[in-house]
Amino acid sequence: MKIRVSRSVLPSLFTIMNLFFGFLAVIYAFRNEPVMAAWYIVFGAVFDALDGVMARLTKSSSEFGVELDSLCDAVTFGAAPSFLIYSMLYPRFEVFGILIASMPLIFGVLRLARFNVQLTGFNKDHFNGVPTPISALTFASFVFFFDPAALTDLQLYMLAALTITISFLMVSTIWFPVLPKPTKRDLREHPVVTVIFYSGIIVAAVTRGKWLFPVIVGAILLTAGISLCRFLAKMFRKTENEEDEDAEPVTANHS
């Protein structure tokens, strides 16, 4: 008897590993070990990136893979960050902390559902809103940058404000570039984004994740600024076109 193994099995295994690390992150958040929980979210993000690479290499992108990826992302980049935030906010904010901590999960699931409905192909050049992995990495990197065992009231309020802001940005329509691949084509077509992205990875690796937080926050602010400039430019062109249409045509009067 011959057993046939589909090419989609390999990328699906990477996706399942993403889910497994999300599960571990939840466990360590409940154990009140936020640093370990944050690292497991990072490991989940690595496997989330690799499943896409494997799907492209094996040419096995499919609707099943998209749905499986979204379900796993809901755990690793939705539930796990929410439990991580809960472990830090609840002792200070109690019920209000629970409400804030639930936002990455709720808004993350809403974003994933919107993404699946609007998906028209497997290759995209940008996203609308902050992707859930970037959102989760923002919260994980907060733990690396600040000592979670000695958070001041100011830092806790900062975390609460950051959670609310990032959650709404996930379901916003701001333009967010697809993370570049280490290829000559991406370097040629998107030089600025590629250089910034891989420079950020190097900085994060050298500092063992400590400076990942300012890098990610800076990248989000930069893309939000670019999105705002695009919106203003679009509105300016629209206004100019409307003025051109409203202008009466000048006709020559030949006697």
Amino acid letter at 223?
T
Q: Which H helix or E strand runs over 53?
A: helix 34-57
The per-residue pLDDT for range 136-146, each reduced to its tens digit, is: 999 999 999 99
- Give the chain's domains with CATH numbers: 9-179 (1.20.120.1760)
| 20 vs 120, more confident | 20
The per-residue pLDDT for range 173-183, each reduced to its tens digit, is: 887 777 666 56
CB atoms under 10 Å from CB of 60, counted, come to: 17
* Predicted local distance difference test score (pLDDT) of residue 74: 95
Q: At 250, give phi and psi (nearest 5°).
A: -90, 120
pLDDT exceeding 90 applies to what percent of the chain? 42
The per-residue pLDDT for range 108-118, each reduced to its tens digit, is: 999 999 888 87
Q: How confident is the model at residue 246 (pLDDT cuts 50, 70, 90)?
A: low
Is the pLDDT assigned to residue 250 strictly greater than 60?
no
Tokens 């893979």 belong to: 65
* Predicted local distance difference test score (pLDDT) of residue 129: 85
The per-residue pLDDT for range 21-80, each reduced to its tens digit, is: 999 999 999 999 999 999 999 999 888 888 877 777 777 677 788 889 899 999 999 999
pTM over cut 0.75: yes
Q: How far is CA 101 from CA 27, 80, 125, 157, in A?
A: 16, 10, 31, 12
